[in-house]
Amino acid sequence: LFQFIYSVCLNKVCFPPAEWCYRKQNRDDSCKDPSRWAVQFPRCGGLRQSPINIITQKVQVERSLPLFDFFGHTETVNITVKNKGHSAHFILPQSVSLAGGGLSGHYRAAQFHFHWGGSGRPGSEHTIDGERFPMELHIVHIKEPYDSLAEAEHDTAGIALLAFLFEETADDHPHLDTIIAALGRVPNNGSSTVILDFRLRDIIPAARDLHSYYRYVGSMTTPGCEQAVAWTVFHTMLSISSQQLSAIVEQCRFWTGQPMRDLYRPTQPLDGRVVYSSKSATAQKRANHVWLGALSVLLCCCLKMLIKGLHKNFTVK
Ligand SMILES: *[C@@H]1O[C@H](CO)[C@@H](O)[C@H](O)[C@H]1NC(C)=O
Ligand SMILES: *[C@@H]1O[C@H](CO)[C@@H](O)[C@H](O)[C@H]1NC(C)=O
Ligand SMILES: [Zn+2]
């Protein structure tokens, strides 16, 4: 009997580990905020963690970063949406997949989810030159032939995560309303619903329009923080109106019962990693510089002519 009780205790019934959370959600100490994730999930204290702040001056151009090939993005599918207690997951069928993008092999989609802030606070996980954006979309893909995160986690590129940042616009994103309505149907941990006739293409652009992106090696941004992720953060931002944003942050609750807000992990140290940028990302920047340069030369000429003209007028009189 004693042995039985002892083994039950070892199985964490007597001492259940505190669940993790994004910030202290109760007056008591019942959940672990990001600064304490590593106590229970040691990999969260690793040297290749995500998200990060991307410093655009320090990114390194990598000419071998080509376009992606997306499969199944224009298919119409029924998808299940589930409140997982920390965020809501939109489960994608395995017919949605990707290749290319400088990754070797084929990656099957598993799910997508969003990170957001609350009441006007931005809530993206990645920041660019210190700027946080209103919301971030993550599309999680697992490399073939792995079937789960557990299998993929021993491969440093076992997971391909696509990240899109959102910018606030005056007009509604025309296809986010079905997403927002679905979130309204999964208010509590464990609740689920279905979105009929969903197309990923309605949410994100076609692969041919996504040539500019950042790439770095990192981790999952929730415990256990598995360091198995090839991250792609696209330059192209998705749009969302302030009305849509406030609708999104008001509908769900965390497993604690608190409103599901500010669900993002603080940025993590780079620890010597390099962030790469696809060629066209920098080509565009250079094009802007050339254009600005040309513009200033033109302005200079105009000014000179103007001054000359004024001078002439002046001397004639
Ligand atoms: C989606 O669900 C509807 C209603 O249950 C069904 O009629 C339709 O065939 C399903 N579509 C797919 C692609 O499974
Ligand atoms: C959320 O609900 C699921 C059941 O759907 C349960 O297994 C899980 O422990 C819950 N999560 C938390 C953090 O309470
Ligand atoms: Zn995420």
C-alpha neighbours within 13 Å on the C-beta side of residue 286: 6
From 11-15, 188-192, 253-257, 307-311, the region with the lowest mean pLDDT: 11-15
pLDDT in tens, 86-111: 999 999 999 999 999 999 999 999 99
- Ligand 1 atom 3, closest CA: 196
- Tell me, what's the pLDDT at 313? 53
Residues in the chain: 317
Quick check: bond before 17 cis, omega within 30?
A: no
Residue 139: which residues within 8 A CB-CB, separation 6 or more? 92, 109, 111, 112, 161, 162, 200, 204
Ligand 3 center–CA 138 separation, angstroms: 5
202: how many CB neighbours lie within 10 A of its CB? 16
Token pair, residue 224, equals 């256990």
Supply the angle between the helices 242-249 and 177-184 in degrees, to the nearest 10.
20
Of 74, 76, 78, the one to substitute when testing ligand 1's pocket (max ligand atoms within 8 A of C-beta) is 78
Of 30, 186, 189, the one to substitute when testing ligand 2's pocket (max ligand atoms within 8 A of C-beta) is 189
- Which numbered atom of ligand 1 lies nearest the CA of 78? 1
What 147-156 contacts at long range (C-beta under 8 Å, 24+ apart), as own/partner pairs, is 149/220, 149/226, 149/228, 152/226, 152/228, 153/226, 153/227, 153/228, 154/228, 155/228, 156/217, 156/227, 156/228, 156/230
Ligand nearest to the CA of 190: 2
- Tell me, what's the pLDDT at 219? 97
The amino acid at residue 189 is N
| Contact in structure between 159 and 139 (CB atoms under 8 Å) | no
- Ligand 1 atom 1, closest CA: 78
Ligand 2 center–CA 255 separation, angstroms: 7
For residue 35, give the 3-state DSSP assignment: helix
CATH architecture assignment, domain 42-279: Roll (3.10)
Residue 290: which residues within 8 A CB-CB, separation 6 or more? none
Determine whether 86 is an active site residue.
Answer: yes
pLDDT in tens, 217-251: 999 999 999 999 999 999 999 999 999 999 999 99
Quick one: which H or E segment has residue 215? Answer: strand 213-218
Q: How confident is the model at residue 12 (pLDDT cuts 50, 70, 90)?
A: very low
Quick one: which H or E segment has residue 111? Answer: strand 107-116
| In the chain, where the domains are located | 42-279
- Ligand 2 atom 2, closest CA: 190
Task: Give the whole-angstrom CA distance, residue 128 versus residue 132.
Answer: 7
pLDDT in tens, 254-303: 998 999 999 999 999 999 999 999 976 555 554 455 455 555 555 555 55
- Tell me, what's the pLDDT at 203? 96
Ligand 1 center–CA 151 separation, angstroms: 31
Mean pLDDT, rounded, for 151-166 = 96
308: how many CB neighbours lie within 10 A of its CB? 10
Token pair, residue 290, equals 């050339």
Tokens 């000359």 found at = 308
Neighbours of ion ligand 3 (CB under 5 A): 138
Which of 86, 89, 113, 115 is an active site residue? 86
Of 194, 196, 197, 198, the one to substitute when testing ligand 1's pocket (max ligand atoms within 8 A of C-beta) is 196
Ligand 1 center–CA 78 separation, angstroms: 6
